Amino acid sequence: MPHLLHLDSALDPRASSSRPVTAAFAQAWRALGPDHTVTHHDLQADPPPHLAHAALHWAAPLRTADEAAAEVDDPVQRALLDELLAADVLLVGAPMYNWSLPSTLKAWVDHVHVLGTTVPFGDRTDQPLAGRTAVVVSSRGAGYAPGGPTAGLDHTVPPLAQVLGQSFGMHVEVVTLDLTLAGRVPAMAPLAGDAEAQRVAATTRVQELARALG
Ligand SMILES: Cc1cc2nc3c(=O)[nH]c(=O)nc-3n(C[C@H](O)[C@H](O)[C@H](O)COP(=O)(O)O)c2cc1C
């Protein structure tokens, strides 16, 4: 049964640019048939707490004696890991906030990026998510086109590509929508047509991806 984990992290469900795009992916996924199941985790409505202890960055057998003595265990982390490991495909709504990840999404990353559990480390070589696909939908108020003067300011997509791609071994597809503030910032008004074209292209792209991956 192909299963999708759909994460959203945009602050405002009514005005979000990323949420309609992730929703279009999920809708196209569900349209593939009743066996195409979805878990939707809204990280804004149901945010993970900050990581409670540094030991949670390590699988239990890799913890120091002090960490082991503290008997750190976290049901929130276990639940987030179970939710992720159950997914054949991961969909991440990743708006740019202050050039980086929403804090809710960063907290999610901190819980699931675990050396020796989701990330191979030492003799713990398992990489359980390797070969699966993650689709990252990143909406940004300004423009961050590759090769442009502001491309290096994008600290939203690169950490996700590192964690999901390099650490987890997932195949990462990135879909971006730039210029989403064109309708709000008067100086960006001439860019409204470009912004709309990017929104349409992103929606079409995620629908294609859902059909290809499902
Ligand atoms: C707290 C906050 C910080 C933001 N920081 C940036 C930024 O650093 N660069 C940028 O281009 N846009 C920034 N924006 C604009 C958002 O990236 C833009 O509104 C985007 O559409 C967010 O995705 P969403 O609509 O799904 O929330 C910020 C918006 C908010 C609410």
Q: Which residues line ligand 1 (CB under 6 A)?
A: 10-11, 16-19, 95-99, 139-142, 180-181
Does residue 103 have a known ligand-binding role? Answer: no
CA of 143 to the centre of ligand 1 (A): 11
> Which pLDDT tens digit goes with each residue over 102-129?
999 999 999 999 999 999 999 999 999 9
Q: Could you tell which of 180, 199, 203 is best to mutate to test the pocket of ligand 1, judged by most ligand atoms within 8 Å of the CB?
A: 180
pLDDT of residue 124: 96
CA of 17 to the centre of ligand 1 (A): 9
pLDDT of residue 68: 83
Secondary structure element (H or E) that encloses residue 35, with its range: none
Could you tell me the residue range of the domain that residue 74 belongs to?
3-213
Q: What are the angstrom distances between the C-alpha of 204 and each of 163, 184, 212?
A: 26, 24, 12
pLDDT of residue 73: 76
d(CA 160, CA 125): 21
Enter the tokens of residue 211.
């059909």
pLDDT of residue 86: 98
pLDDT of residue 71: 73
Output the average pLDDT for the chain: 96
Q: Could you tell which of 97, 98, 176, 178 is best to mutate to test the pocket of ligand 1, judged by most ligand atoms within 8 Å of the CB?
A: 97
Quick check: 152 and 190 in contact, CB under 8 A? no
Calculate what percentage of the chain has a pLDDT beyond 90. Answer: 95
Residues composing the chain: 214
Residue 157 pairs with which residues in a beta bridge?
none
> Which pLDDT tens digit goes with each residue over 78-99?
999 999 999 999 999 999 999 9
Tally the domains of the chain: 1
CATH classification at residue 17: 3.40.50.360
Q: What is the dihedral of CA 16, 17, 20, 21, to 10 degrees?
A: -140
Q: What are the angstrom distances between the C-alpha of 123 and each of 50, 115, 117, 127, 130?
A: 28, 11, 11, 12, 17
**Residue 151 pLDDT grade (very low, low, confident, very high; cuts 50, 70, 90):** very high
> Which pLDDT tens digit goes with each residue over 41-63?
999 999 999 999 999 999 999 99
Maximum pairwise Cα distance, the chain: 61
